Amino acid sequence: MARPNKILVAYDGSPHSKQALEWAIDLSRASNGSVVVVFVSEPIHMSSLVLYNIEGGSERLLMETIKEIKEKDRQTLEEAKNHCASHGIEVKAEILEGNIAETIINYAKKEQIDLIVAGTKGHGALEELLMGSVTRNLVSLAHTPVLVVKD
């Protein structure tokens, strides 16, 4: 496929995902396609909540923290959406929840995405050392072509 019409960008606000977004913008211009930007947040597990309460955290404080995280995620996605719009690119932006690689792969299949673009690393301590596990899983498991962008 030489000209992808629907390009999905895995975006988390990291420098690598910003580079991936730039590639998606350029590719969408060349193919007259659209960009779908997804931010995937992993769900908070009940075991984490129980441990937090055992260690003396209050439920109210925990709920405020979760609300702040969700607002930051929304702002991160809005930043990507505005960046695409400033380049005249048609963009759809979504916050999804689940295992990051699995959620992106399932979304790409459901939405008939032609190309997934991802940076080599995302936010996270381990991802700073090696190619991110999310990117590695995308390359290994996705049926959709994956473009990996290095910083």
More confident residue, 98 or 45: 98
Asked whether the beta carbons of 105 and 142 are under 8 A apart, the reply is yes
Please list, in sequence order, all residues whose beta carbon lies within 8 angstroms of the beta carbon of residue 14, skipping any fewer than 6 positions away: 119, 121, 122, 123
> Which residues pair with residue 34 across a beta bridge?
6
Give the closest residue to 145 by CA, choosing from 2, 30, 39, 48: 2
pLDDT value at position 57?
A: 58
Q: Tens digits of per-residue pLDDT, 52-111? A: 555 555 667 777 878 898 999 999 999 999 999 999 998 999 999 999 999 999 999 999
Asked whether the beta carbons of 110 and 146 are under 8 A apart, the reply is no
Options 3.40.718.10, 3.55.40.20, 3.40.50.620, 3.40.47.10; CATH of 6-43+74-149: 3.40.50.620
Whole-angstrom Cα distance, residue 5 to residue 30?
Answer: 10
pLDDT value at position 51?
A: 55
Answer whether residue 48 shows pLDDT above 80. Answer: no
* Mean pLDDT for the stretch of residues 2-15: 90
Q: Is 37 helix (H, G, I), strand (E, B) or coil?
A: strand
Whole-angstrom Cα distance, residue 142 to residue 146?
Answer: 8
pLDDT value at position 130?
A: 45
Which alpha helices (DSSP H) does 36-150 contain, by range?
A: 46-54, 59-86, 100-110, 133-141
Asked whether the beta carbons of 136 and 125 are under 8 A apart, the reply is no
Q: Where along the chain do its domains lie?
A: 6-43+74-149
Q: Tens digits of per-residue pLDDT, 99-144? A: 999 999 999 999 999 999 999 865 554 444 445 688 889 999 999 9
Asked whether the beta carbons of 4 and 114 are under 8 A apart, the reply is yes
